[in-house]
Every structure is written in C-alpha cells, then in structure tokens.
Structure 1
Amino acid sequence: MFVSKDKVLEGSIRQKNKAIIFDAAKKEFVTYGFKGASIKRIAERANIARANIHYYFKDKTDLYQQLLSNIIAVWNRDYDTLNVDNDPKEVLSAYIRAKVMHSKNDPDASRIFASELIHGAPVLNEYLNNDFKVWLNSKVMIIESWVKQGLIDPVNPHHLLFLIWSSTQHYADFNVQVVAALDKEAMSDDDFEDVVTSLTQIILKGCGIS
C-alpha cells in the first residue's frame, strides 16, 4: 500500500507534538493530580496554544487516558520480546535494568501510574480487567515454562513480576525517601547502576539463577 510523503510527515508531526504535550502533562498531573491539573497550564508548560492540545485530545480526561496508555505501552514493550526460547537470566536481567532506567529517566510516568492505582484505578479499571490480564497471563505462562524446564527454581510468576515492578519503581515513586536514606541531594548515574546490580543479584539468586 502506497503512503504519500505528506501522510508520513503528518504522522511524524502528530507524534512529535503529542510527545511534547505528554511531557508537559506528566509534570502537571504529578504536581496537581488529575483533579487539580488544567489544560491551560499544560499548554503553558508545553509552550503551545491551548487549541493545539484540543486538536489532539478532546478534554483533560482524554489526555489523561491517552497518557496512561502511552506509559503502559512503553513499559510493556520492554518485555514483549519474551518467549519460551529466551534465556531467563538474560531476559530478567535486561527487564530489571530497563525498569530501573525508566525510574531514572521518566520518574513522573511511574508516579502518575502509581497515583492512578492508589486512587482505585478509575481510568485503568477496564484495562486492568481485560488487556492487562491477557498480557500478564502470557508472561506468567512463559515463567511457568522456565520452572518446568528446570531453568529457574519453582517461584510464583505473579509474585516474581510484582517484586520486579515494586522494587524498580520504588526509586521513582519514593525517591524523596531514597535520597534521604542515602544522605544525598539526588541519585547519580552510579547510584542507579548500583540499584541495577543489587536488584539483579537479589532477584536472580531468589530464582536459583547463578
């Protein structure tokens, strides 16, 4: 199927503009929460006209929903290469690193997601009971296959994933507590590398992987 250069350019511009709006929206939602956030301030943060936001999003709820969907899509993409033929040590190590780096490079995304869940997931409820379960069950089946093949110790796949999610996202969601405990103003690149090394060692050892 032929796609014109104009269509490609239009798609590229749309993607770029939405990314700018998403970045501004993350800061707004983290600062004020969903109820307190305003499209006016998001436009000011993005340095674009308010009408431009409404060109891509119907209202604040639509923007918030699409932002959450984008966050989830980015996170899930890091694990979509997982299949039964993968080496569990390589896969789990790469996933732990990716999740820690998300906490380092995009902490606001994790905080927005955590806030949504803490408030009962009013926007994500349908996703959690449908697409999320399908995605999660496919990963659980692969971890169970590793156990059956003797590649890892018998572990509950759900709790293994919960552990990875909670431990890695802790450094975004509770960063204020972390830097206070470490007696630092902020975490350095070396600190995050230490997080990757420590969590990888702890989690792999817990799975019986040397």
Structure 2
Amino acid sequence: MSSIRERNRDLILRAASEVFADRGFAASKTSDIAARAGLPKPNVYYYFKSKENLYREVLESIVEPLLEASAPFNRPGDPLDVLTAYIRSKIRISRELPHASKVFASEIMHGAPHLSAEQTRQLNDQARHNVACIQRWIETGQMHGVDPHHLLFSIWAATQTYADFDWQIAVVTGKARLDDADYDAAADTIIRLVLKGCGIDETPTLA
C-alpha cells in the first residue's frame, strides 16, 4: 500500500510541476493536474488536500536540491573546486528538475508569496554564507575582487536559463530537445567563464 501511495504522490507532484510551470498557480486546475497524472481528481485532494498545498509541495521539492547544491560552500575548499561543483549542481537541477525550477523562478519573480518563512530564511542564510565564502577568497588573494553578490546572481542566471529557456536553446541549436552532452557543455562553458573572469587558476592543486 505504501508503494502505491508513494507512486501516486510522485505522479501527482510530477504532473503538478509541469502544469504549474506551463500555466502558473492561478490558472492551473486540479482537474488538469489529475489528468496529466492519469489519476482521478479526488486523488489529488486525498494526497494533498488542496491546490495550495500541492503547489507548496512542488516548491519544497526544488528548495531542498537548491540548498544541497550549495553543499560545496559548507565545507573547506578552494574556489576552483567549490565553484566548479556548485555550477555543475545548479546545471544538474535545471536538467533533472526543469519544471519545478520554472515554478520556483516564477514564485521568486512574484515576490515568493507561497514560500514559507523557514524556506525563505534557509535560502537567504545559505546565499549570505556563499557570498561570505567568496569574499574570503577575494581577501586572501585566491581570486579577483569581483562583487560577490553579482557573481552569485550571474551563476544563478546562467544555470537557471537552461530550465527556463530549454525550448529556445534546443531550437537555436537545431535539436528536438537538449541531451546530457548539451548540459555538460553548458556547465563546462559557464565554469570556464567564471573561473577565467575571477582569475582562478584552473590547474588542480596536487594533494
């Protein structure tokens, strides 16, 4: 029974991510989400009680990976390794959770009305911590004196675009859809631009 419950919840969450990403919160209907999931409409209410709760669950499904992406900043490391791992994690989120990423981006653009106070605090605390790490690297001469806030914003924008504008990128590159090689190339390019722009030596440090 628990496996059926988990399967149905996952189906509904995945469908909700797609519908919310396509139409936004206000224009989305639970009947459309149920149809996309291939389940009866009452199942949506059985598992999530309301459209608002379901939307918040979709946000929760992306907030946790976003926080986990910053894990490299939370342990000792140099800017080469930390920024490389961070950018790859952010691109991985755009590749694996594109619809939830779009929902999160839309939520932020509308002033984050559905994010909980705790989620907002966690995200802001982590961002401030990341900025402080970058500032320390600047002060210790490990990278150029770029603005830490705007460096972080630039990384967010560059990686998020592969979720928000995946269709446009596929069209411009002449593909039906992006594949793993495209996302790897995107990560490599963004990493190279950030490291070069920050004056970070790309030669790995020998242990």
For this structure pair, what is the TM-score category when the shorter chain's length is used for normalisation? 0.7 to 0.9
Q: Residues 154 and 125 (structure 1 numbering): CA distance in 2 closer, same or farther, change over 3 Å?
A: farther
Structure 2 residue 108 is the aligned partner of structure 1 residue 117: yes
Structure 2 residue 194 is the aligned partner of structure 1 residue 195: no
2:34 to 43, 55, 69: 43
Measure, in 2, the Cα distance between the counterparts of 1:142 and 1:16. Answer: 40
Kept in 2: contact 1:100–1:196 (CA 8 A) = yes
Q: 2:92 is aligned with what amino acid?
A: M
Q: CA deviation at 1:13?
A: 6.6
Q: CA deviation at 1:166?
A: 0.3
What does 1:8-47 align with in structure 2 at a 5 Å threshold?
A: 16-47=7-38
Kept in 2: contact 1:103–1:110 (CA 8 A) = yes
SS at match of 2:61: helix
Measure, in 1, the Cα distance between the counterparts of 2:5 and 2:67. Answer: 22
SS at match of 2:145: coil
Q: CA deviation at 1:84?
A: 5.6
Kept in 1: contact 2:170–2:178 (CA 8 A) = yes
The ranges of structure 1 where at least 4 consecutive aligned residues each deviate by more than 4 angstroms after the TM superposition are: 12-17, 125-129
Bigger shift: residues 196-205 or 95-104: 95-104
* Structure 2 match to 1:135: 126
Q: 1:203 is aligned with what amino acid?
A: V
Q: CA deviation at 1:15?
A: 5.2
TM-score of the aligned structures, taking structure 2 as reference length: 0.84
Bigger shift: residues 76-85 or 90-99: 76-85
Aligned length: 201
Measure, in 2, the Cα distance between the counterparts of 1:100 and 1:144. Answer: 23
* Structure 1 match to 2:174: 183
SS at match of 1:205: helix
Structure 2 residue 173 is the aligned partner of structure 1 residue 173: no
Aligned alpha-carbon RMSD (Å): 2.4
Measure, in 2, the Cα distance between the counterparts of 1:46 and 1:72. Answer: 22
Structure 2 residue 91 is the aligned partner of structure 1 residue 100: yes
Per-residue Cα deviation, 1:103-155 (whole angstroms, up to 9, x for no partner): 22221122111222233332238467633322211222222222222222222
- Stretches of structure 2 that go unaligned for 5 or more consecutive residues are 202-207
* Structure 2 match to 1:79: 70
Kept in 2: contact 1:100–1:171 (CA 8 A) = yes
TM-score of the aligned structures, taking structure 1 as reference length: 0.83
